[in-house]
Amino acid sequence: MIDDALKRRLDFCATLPSLPAIAVKIIEMANDPDADIGAICKYISLDPVLSAKLLRTANTPLYKSRRVATNIRQAVSILGTHTVLVIALSFSLTSSLIKIALPGQNCAFDNNGFWRRSIATALASRALGEKLELNFLDDLFLAGLIQEIGILTFWIIMPEEYGKVFASTTDHDTLLINEREAFGAGHDELGYALLKKWHIPDYIALSCINSHSQPEPKNIGPTLQACLAVSRYLADYFLYPHDAEKIAALNQAAQNWLGFDTNVLIDVIKIMEVGLSTVEDLFEMTLHNSSEVNGILAEAKELLLIHSLSRAKDLEDKTQRDGLTGAYNRTYFDETLRREFNLATQYNLPLTVAIIDLDHFKRVNDTYGHVAGDSLLATVVKTIFDQIRQDDTLSRYGGEEFALILPGTPLSAARNLIVRLKDSIAAIAYKFDSSSTIHITASIGVASFYENAAFFHDAKDLIKAADSALYAAKHAGRNQVIEWSPD
């Protein structure tokens, strides 16, 4: 929350530029539902730079209008009063702020970087609206442009103190936390206070602050606030398309706020690409070097797709794996064994299965506790994973029992690997504390399809054979490998 001291700094800051008279007038008109079109045209026409920009905007492909506006009145009749006011506000608000020079020789504020990001955010926010076929695209653009105005405000009212906090992180959400810790308020709240001071229409100012919160179920959907929240991440990604963290953050925000998947995001990026040169031209600022833009973005779209595929794979993996050890779960094992067995019978391929059971594991739990038992299980699994191939499937078959499927591997080749696994489990020296080290051994039963194909009618037969070999290994004294044979 903004305390009195911060509010006083905001109210009495000599370096915070006052709004140009035209901006004050436009805000007044934007807040007045009965604003007179004649008055709007008159005020905008008083500012030749603003008028020229507004006309150029009205005639850009952004508005897909078949009529050409040659004066402000025509622009109003083509675009409507609200749109003209919001566009005029976008330009008049930024015109004086964009030129601001901050006090202090050592001030590290990157004015160009700030406005590049703000303009990219405005472009992103409008593109999201276009994809969602919303009819308040200009509000989205304006709100995108000023939603981070609180960062600039912090820099203006306390450049040195803020510089340290700003330098502490490059992550937007961490910055908010650090600001709240240092100043009691984040740039979302300070920006809101400034927008209120300037009498910016409430629906814009509120969306700017609310887009900094986490999405609540009632707020999810194609709202101004949701588009703004995603636009920040989209802008960061658009400006730094090779940064994997930014790709991940964008995917997450787009999913959380709008339920967008990667393909929809790629469409939005295409809309941004189309509008890019127009917006760069209107704000006289380069977001991307034009010779690079196509290459960068094409590659970036690919990265976005790869990221979402790997995320889907991660999710799939989570449902297939045992949480404690990372080995596959029983369901995955059953499916894989069935598939491999069918392949082996159909094409007469080798297939070996092993069941690995830790010896006297109960004693480990009883002596050192379950937590130590759990981490020993995870260590055993890692030891096995380190030695098997990607095509092999290791799964947790029971509590301290693991099953291994070795497709394409005859018994003769599997034998060496399995003995090596037994030895490397026995070699684990798990350090429990400074005075005790835990050792464990394993008994392993092995069954191979290729060598005894006539005995195995389905996958279950193979696993039963491995199980009976394991039983024999336990009875023969443990810490050994026994291969199933028909006699």
Task: Using CB under 6 A, list all residues that contact ligand GTP.
Answer: 324, 357-362, 365, 370, 373-374, 377, 399-400, 474, 478
Rounded least distance, CB 448 to ligand GTP, Å: 23
Please, which residue, 148 or 467, has the CB nearer to ligand GTP? 467
> Among residues 108 and 372, whose Cβ is nearest to ligand GTP?
372
Least distance in angstroms from the C-beta of 354 to ligand GTP:
15
User: By C-beta, is 159 or 445 nearer to ligand GTP?
Assistant: 445
Nearer to ligand GTP, 123 or 481 (CB): 481
Q: By C-beta, is 56 or 370 nearer to ligand GTP? A: 370
Q: Of 60 and 468, which CB lies nearer to ligand GTP in the complex structure?
A: 468
- Burial 293-324, CB ≥16 within 10 A → b, else e: beebbeebbeebeebbeeeeeeeeeeeebbee
Q: How far is the CB of 362 from ligand GTP (least distance, A)?
A: 3
Which residue, among 288, 315, 305, 312, has the nearest Cα to 120 in the 3D structure? 288
Do residues 123 and 235 lie in contact, with contact meaning Cβ atoms separated by under 8 Å? yes
Sign of CA dihedral 151, 156, 159, 162: negative
Compute the residue count for the chain.
Answer: 487
Task: Give min distance, CB of 335 to ligand GTP, in A.
Answer: 22
* Min separation Cβ 447 and ligand GTP, Å: 19
Instruction: Output the smallest distance, CB 357 to ligand GTP, in A.
Output: 5
Q: Which residue sits closest to ligand GTP, CB atoms considered?
A: 399
Q: Which distant-in-sequence residues (6+ apart) come within 8 Å of 145 by Cβ?
A: 90, 93, 94, 118, 119, 121, 122
Please state the closest distance from residue 6 (CB atom) to ligand GTP, in A: 53
CB 128 within 8 A of CB 227: yes
Distance CA(470)–CA(28), nearest Å, equals 84
Distance CA 409, CA 353 (A): 9
Quick check: 128 and 183 in contact, CB under 8 A?
no
C-beta of 300 vs 440, nearer to ligand GTP = 440
Residue 74 backbone phi and psi in degrees, to 5: -65, -40
Encode 243-275: b = buried (16+ Cβ within 10 Å), e = exposed.
beebbbbbbebbbebbebebeebbebbebbbeb
Taking the complex as a whole, the smallest distance from the CB of residue 324 to ligand GTP amounts, in Å, to 6
CA distance 200 to 192: 9
**Are the C-beta atoms of 261 and 174 separated by less than 8 Å?**
no
Shortest Cβ distance from residue 440 to ligand GTP (Å)?
Answer: 9
Nearer to ligand GTP, 362 or 420 (CB): 362
Tell how many helices (H) and how many strands (E) occur in the chain: 22, 7
Nearer to ligand GTP, 401 or 451 (CB): 401
